[in-house]
Amino acid sequence: MKVVIQRVSEANVVIEGNKVAEIDNGLLILLGIVNEDTQEDIDWLCKKVLNLRIFPDENGVMNMSLIDFGGDIIVVSQFTLHASTKKGNRPSYIKAAKPDVAIPLYEQFVKSLQSEVGKPIQTGEFGADMKVHLINDGPVTIIIDSKNRD
């Protein structure tokens, strides 16, 4: 399971001209899933994401987690995070989990975040053609792969 986390001052997701998710200060999380991912990956990744100290404290130092800061979250499925570009110029997405595996893991990831944060987590729509708009605050962008825990 791989995430790209962006600290945002605002973000939204639009599908077919309709805004389906919108937040102010918080995190936009792009989530990529592979067949080998499990609940253990979800648990580890949720804990890591929610406890990253990437929000400013009263002195402007990145010393607060999302939970400390009270920010919101949008999670967007992104199979292209697992693109392989080793051969040729057309990325291969063979590592990305198919929907029958990815959708339940995606939904569980969102539920796990929600239970820890204690408020609704906004999402895009799995498999949809989405337009993601954001203002990256900082900019702060962090990539985490649950398979690289060491």
CATH code, 10: 3.50.80.10
pLDDT digits (tens, 9 = 90+) for 15-62: 999 999 999 999 999 999 999 999 999 999 999 999 999 999 999 999
30 lies in some domain:
yes
* Positions marked catalytic: 78-80
The total number of structural domains that make up the chain: 1
pLDDT digits (tens, 9 = 90+) for 64-101: 999 999 999 999 999 999 999 999 999 999 999 999 99
122 lies in some domain:
yes
State how far the alpha carbon of 148 is from the alpha carbons of 28, 113, 144, in Å.
Answer: 21, 20, 8
55 lies in some domain:
yes
- Residues 141, 121: contact at Cβ < 8 Å? no
pLDDT computed for residue 149 by the predictor: 84
Distance, in Å, from the CA atom of 28 to the CA atom of 66, rounded to the nearest integer, reads 12
pLDDT computed for residue 38 by the predictor: 96
Mean pLDDT of 120-131: 95
Mean pLDDT of 116-136: 96
Closest CA to 122 of 26, 3, 53: 26
State how far the alpha carbon of 55 is from the alpha carbons of 13, 70, 77, 81, in Å.
Answer: 22, 10, 23, 24
37 lies in some domain:
yes
10 lies in some domain:
yes
150 lies in some domain:
no
State how far the alpha carbon of 17 is from the alpha carbons of 13, 14, 47, 52, 127, in Å.
Answer: 10, 6, 34, 33, 16
Distance, in Å, from the CA atom of 139 to the CA atom of 106, rounded to the nearest integer, reads 26
> For residue 132, what are the domain limits?
2-145
pLDDT digits (tens, 9 = 90+) for 141-150: 999 999 998 7
